[in-house]
Amino acid sequence: MATLDAADRLDILELLGFYCRCIDTGLWDELPKLFTADCRIDGGPIGSYEGTAGVEQMAALLKSLPHVMRHYVTNVAIRAEGNTARTHAYVLAFTGPGPGQLTPTTGFYEDELVKRDGRWLFRRRNILLDLPRG
């Protein structure tokens, strides 16, 4: 079974956190740099996206929303698989028109990561939000 050292685990945790920071603080040009060129995002209510152009499209959509967003990621489980890793994390996202008007949403992030040129990147991101059905 493959293992990850402490530095890899910290780098992965930073990747998960920086993804949230990019969205929450409008670092839209940085977001595509967190993904491989052949990535896929299954974003539930925000759609599915492939490749760098897809991440840029998702970033443009999120940028256009008249919402404040704040994401918190916790209970991160990391499993090594050769030169890749898989993560499962809980997400708590607050969204709304402005401070004091944010509504919480919970869910999970399931990721497949790959280390390229010394950096961990998202290859697959599955966003599973606990939204009402119907």
Q: Average pLDDT for consecutive 10-residue bins of the chain (134 residues)? A: 85 98 97 98 92 97 93 96 92 92 95 96 96 66
pLDDT value at residue 134: 55
Closest CA to 47 of 62, 69, 64: 62
Query: What is the dotted CATH code of the domain comprising 6-129?
Result: 3.10.450.50
Round to whole Å and give the CA distance between 80 and 11.
13
Three-class secondary structure of residue 21 per DSSP = helix
State how far the Cα of 77 lies from the Cα of 12, in Å rounded to an integer.
10
